[in-house]
Amino acid sequence: MKRLVSIVLTLALAAGLFTACGGNSGSGGQPGGNEPAPTAQPTPEPTPEPYEANVLTGYEKNLDYPEGQRITAVMVNNLTTCRPQRGLSAAQMLFEIKVEGGITRFMALFNDYNEIPTIGPVRSARDQFFRLVLPWQPLYVHIGQSVVQKQYIENYDYDEWNLEGNFDSKLYFRDKNRRNWAGNTVATEHTAYTSGELIADYISRKEVDDRRSYNSTFFNFVDYRDPAYIPTGEHLKDGADPIAERVTIRHSQSYRTRFDYDPTLGQYKMAQYYSSAGNYRDTVDENNDQQLTFDNLIVLFTDIHVYPGHEAKDLQEAIYEWGGVGYYCYGGKIELIRWQKGTDLEALRLVTFDTEEPFYINCGKSYVTVVDQDELGNFKWEPLATAQETQEAPTSETFQESDD
């Protein structure tokens, strides 16, 4: 009897083990046959982040980006005797173009007027700058303007965004005690400064519409998620060396701008010619004593000549509708390109030299200059190892700035 009970218990235990090990592993633990293991599902590809680039630099917009705000342009003096300027190191983009008498002037561009530090000396507007930014409808800050620029403001009904200091003295202040690089005082007309605080106050008082949405960037930028583009020098004349560690731009006999590439920074350091001293001096920001540096150099050539009927003031006209050739410098290398503009309301475009497809520049701060094509032969780039300091006899400017 005991043996029979033992056999029954053994069979019962074996049946229990079979049910536990050989049953269906599906939900509910119901018994079933030997089914294949489920197929592993592929991991879904992550949805790429949308391309949201800073209008002036091409970098990804950060949390502080002033979405929906107009860019701001400020006209800044560049008379040799009035250097150093203030506030230029804070600009996201800086333009330099020749005006009367061979002198040049700056136009500094900012994403957010609230972030503009003390900047100046603020000077008068010129149409060769205004026409380059007109398609972007910026707040345009200046004190005084040429007769041609005044006509452009009227033609395009631009009074609301034309922040003219001569019509509102609260837009700027004067630093009558300022001294230049040589320690000398300067004339009163070269002592005017503005700031983000003063511009914001003007906008509030005048109820200026500072809102504008941009659906593209100022230039075509390399996607900030992609590697930087290194210029190849493919189209340089006679297979010229594309090494551009020192770039020298001559705007006129007395006004020249030079850049030296610093590989530790990955940027170009800016210097300007001082005819009274016969050499170059670093271009520094008086606010912080820092030398101006740029990731991109964009040098565009076109015909620049005196406006007919304005010979007495030597008022300069830059021809934009035909486009022209240019150069792009980045990372100590240079590339030959073309540029296009068309009508005043068409944006400035950079294109490839051969196929005229859109040319993409790298993200970063850009120096942009428009130069008289007569100076094309004086444009120079070279390795720093072979570069030599330019020493020339002092010269004097024929003209001074004019607000006429």
Which pLDDT does position 303 carry in this prediction? 98
Interval 329-353 mean pLDDT: 97
Write out pLDDT tens, residues 367-381.
999 999 999 999 999
Which pLDDT does position 171 carry in this prediction? 98
Write out pLDDT tens, residues 90-139.
999 999 999 999 999 999 999 999 999 999 999 999 999 999 999 999 99
The answer, yes or no, to whether residue 384 has pLDDT greater than 90, is yes
Write out pLDDT tens, residues 298-339.
999 999 999 999 999 999 999 999 999 999 999 999 999 999
The answer, yes or no, to whether residue 390 has pLDDT greater than 60, is no
What burial letters (b/e) apply to 25-49, b meaning 16+ CB within 10 Å?
eeeeeeeeeeeeeeeeeeeeeeeee
Q: Which residue has the higher pLDDT, 364 or 5?
A: 364
Q: Which residues contact 37 (CB under 8 A, 6 or more apart)?
A: none
Write out pLDDT tens, residues 244-258.
999 999 999 999 999
**DSSP code of residue 366:** E
What are the structure tokens assigned to 338, written together? 């073309």
SS3 352: strand
Angle at 347 between CA 270 and CA 223, to 5 degrees: 65
- The dihedral of CA 400, 380, 306, 75: what is its sign? negative
Write out pLDDT tens, residues 130-174.
999 999 999 999 999 999 999 999 999 999 999 999 999 999 999
Asked if residue 121 has a cis previous peptide bond (ω within 30° of 0), the answer is: yes
What's the pTM value of the predicted model, to 2 decimals? Answer: 0.86
Give the whole-number percent of the chain exceeding pLDDT 70.
83
* Phi, psi angle pair for 93, to nearest 5°: -150, 140
- What residue ranges define each of the domains in the chain, with the CATH number in brackets? 72-386 (3.50.90.10)
Q: What pLDDT band is residue 277 in, cutting at 50, 70 and 90?
A: low
C-alpha span between 8 and 3 (Å, rounded): 9
Q: Which helix (H) or strand (E) holds 336?
A: strand 333-340
* Phi, psi angle pair for 205, to nearest 5°: -65, -40
